[in-house]
Structure 1
Amino acid sequence: MFIWLASYPKSGNTLLRSMLAAYFFSTDGVYNFDLIKNIKQFPNITLFERLGIDIKNEKEVVKNYIKVQESFNNKNSVQFLKTHSYLFNIDNHAFTDLNNSLGSIYIARDPRNVVTSYANHTNIGVDEAADDLINLTQMGGDLGKTKGSERTKVFTGNWGGNFNSWKSFKFQDRYLLIKYEDLISEKEKTFIKVLKFIHKLKKADFKIDDKKLKNVILTTDFSRMKKLEQEEGFFESKIDKITGKKIPFFNLGEKNDWNKILNKEIKKKIETAFQKEMKELGYI
């Protein structure tokens, strides 16, 4: 069964996945980039191709989301799946269902910080990035590319729609909301909260591996991850179309502070568009 790790892009999904990968897929809790590969992304167009689904037909792809999930769902164990999709129902075709999903962990981040991180990652201006957060509802889908993430169309919804959609898991008591800011400022406390939720979903007794926990906290520090990327490269980073060089995935970290780097017009635009959600999350 799947536990979804859902978020809008550039909201801290990679950090949480790294921590979970180090805790569940290593013997000592020491993180390296290979470990994160144990947590796959959905949708992934390659999975649809393998089942013979016409990937050029968008309606056929959406229609077969659950069929594809069933094709690799191990009902007897817990699998983590990353997604930036909103929890949709398109033409009566659902993104997932409770036969495949054990629950969801949603990672939220202040959109005033998301926008600058998103601008760096996609190599666009902050003005354009702000418009994307507010108006863009889908990303990717270029079948001419070779990278799976770029070939796969993801229906993200806008920032607020993405956040709101995953709340439906609340009704089954299978939903945990965490904030990226808490994952930074209270890392151990927040991660223990995540682990407790996972054990609850698994209906398993909760017990912490203290050695692993300590190593997870230490080795997923931003500065260490940034250094790892500089030394080894990171497969999720994008290529600058002009220079042909990789854009650093781990860019500013805690230095990404909207108070210092975001102009007043963009700040106001984001706060106006997402006033309800930002109040709910305590960002304004």
Structure 2
Amino acid sequence: MTDLRRIIWLASYPKSGNTWMRTLLAHYFMPKGQAPDINNLRQFTTGDIRQDFFDRAAGRPFRAETYEEWMAVRPTALRLIAASKPSHHFVKTHCQPIRMFGKDVIPAEVTAAAIYILRNPFDLAPSFSRHQDCDLDTAITRMMFPDMSTGSATGIFETLGRWDDHVKTWTTAPGLPRHTVRYEDLLADAPGVMTALLEKFLRVKVDKSKLDYAIGETSFDALKRQESEKGFTERPPHMQAFFAKGQAGVWREDLTPAQVGRLREGFLPVLEKWYPEMLDETAEFAGTA
């Protein structure tokens, strides 16, 4: 039986840096000058919402009306994705690694490992509100909704769940080789973070000149410029710009004390584990110190 444990998941809650990580890895691993732009990333990575794989898995143009219909086809679509390249390859997902209708959303049979990218919820909320085309309070409510999901017109869903549950399920999934990257650390020290990812996790000897080139070609300004010049196919139709700010700490200008307090109270245990340095400042800002 063919071993299909080839997928290295690039997993994240939406607007946490997944596109940046994909472009970084593409520019590092592909020959100089051949890495795809943001609209052709499928030349290097694919995603678990590809319509063509679901069509092949269903044996017809795929269209689901329910989560159960989606999950009936997803395992086969993921096996096709895993088999689409002869060895390990990266696949983007925003889904939680949970079980639905007796099946794993992230099946072990196609999984080699995972890179999990997380971003603090205070900075994520404004970006998520733009992505969802809703106001900030609604975005925060959705980030706290256990059954939060998104989906295409044909019923290819992404089971997000709550932000804190998303972090917990990915960072504690039993038996899953994983490497966790905080978006803020990548912003502050891209060379150090990528060197650790490549050497310690992917077991790749780092070529410093290649890494410097990859980081330079995929700066936030460079990605923003690409979107301005060429558009971005993954940008929802209502969004003016997918790459809006790309900074850490924007929550101080974008959120009210009440909104900071909601996020802090709702996600406190995960914040204590992954963002302890933010606890005092956010408490003071929210007036709960």
TM-score by length of 2: 0.84
Q: Tell me, yes or no, if the aligned pair for 1:19 and 1:31 is still in contact at 8 Å.
A: no
**Superposition map of 1:163-174 within 5 A:** 163-169=167-173, 171-172=174-175, 174=177
**Superposition map of 1:92-111 within 5 A:** 92-111=102-121
Identify unmatched segments of 5+ residues in structure 2: 1-5, 280-289
| 1:55 paired to 2:64 | yes
Matched residue, 2:46: 40
Q: Which amino acid aligns with 2:270?
A: E
Report the CA distance between 1:181 and its aligned residue. Answer: 0.1
Q: CA 1:281–1:29 in 2, change beyond 3 Å: closer, same or farther? A: farther
- Range moving further from structure 2, 65-74 or 104-113: 65-74
Report the CA distance between 1:97 and its aligned residue. Answer: 2.7
Matched residue, 2:211: 213
SS at match of 2:91: strand
Report the CA distance between 1:154 and its aligned residue. Answer: 1.0
Q: State the identity as a percent.
A: 24
- Range moving further from structure 2, 4-13 or 246-255: 246-255
| 1:276 paired to 2:275 | no
Q: CA 1:225–1:72 in 2, change beyond 3 Å: closer, same or farther? A: closer
Q: CA 1:56–1:123 in 2, change beyond 3 Å: closer, same or farther? A: closer
Residues of 2 paired with 1:17 and 1:175: CA distance?
A: 16
| 1:123 paired to 2:133 | yes
Matched residue, 1:250: 243
| 1:3 paired to 2:1 | no
Q: Tell me, yes or no, if the aligned pair for 1:28 and 1:212 is still in contact at 8 Å.
A: no
Identify unmatched segments of 5+ residues in structure 1: 145-150, 201-205, 241-245
Residues of 2 paired with 1:79 and 1:152: CA distance?
A: 21
Q: Which amino acid aligns with 1:69?
A: L
Q: Which amino acid aligns with 1:63?
A: A
Q: Tell me, yes or no, if the aligned pair for 2:7 and 2:112 is still in contact at 8 Å.
A: yes
Residues of 2 paired with 1:49 and 1:121: CA distance?
A: 27
Matched residue, 1:19: 24
Report the CA distance between 1:196 and its aligned residue. Answer: 2.0
Q: Tell me, yes or no, if the aligned pair for 1:106 and 1:176 is still in contact at 8 Å.
A: yes
Q: Tell me, yes or no, if the aligned pair for 1:140 and 1:153 is still in contact at 8 Å.
A: yes
Matched residue, 2:92: 82
Q: CA 1:158–1:44 in 2, change beyond 3 Å: closer, same or farther? A: farther
Report the CA distance between 1:211 and its aligned residue. Answer: 2.5
Matched residue, 2:123: 113
| 1:188 paired to 2:194 | no
Matched residue, 1:262: 255
Q: Tell me, yes or no, if the aligned pair for 1:49 and 1:55 is still in contact at 8 Å.
A: no
Q: CA 1:66–1:210 in 2, change beyond 3 Å: closer, same or farther? A: same
Matched residue, 1:226: 224
Q: Tell me, yes or no, if the aligned pair for 1:40 and 1:80 is still in contact at 8 Å.
A: yes
CA RMSD of aligned residues (A): 2.2
Residues of 2 paired with 1:177 and 1:195: CA distance?
A: 12
- Range moving further from structure 2, 34-43 or 180-189: 34-43
Matched residue, 2:157: 153
Q: CA 1:31–1:183 in 2, change beyond 3 Å: closer, same or farther? A: farther
Residues of 2 paired with 1:121 and 1:82: CA distance?
A: 17
Runs of 4+ with >6 A deviation = none
TM-score by length of 1: 0.86
SS at match of 2:15: coil
Q: CA 1:229–1:275 in 2, change beyond 3 Å: closer, same or farther? A: same
Report the CA distance between 1:173 and its aligned residue. Answer: 5.8
Residues of 2 paired with 1:92 and 1:192: CA distance?
A: 38
Residues of 2 paired with 1:97 and 1:237: CA distance?
A: 28
Report the CA distance between 1:142 and its aligned residue. Answer: 4.6
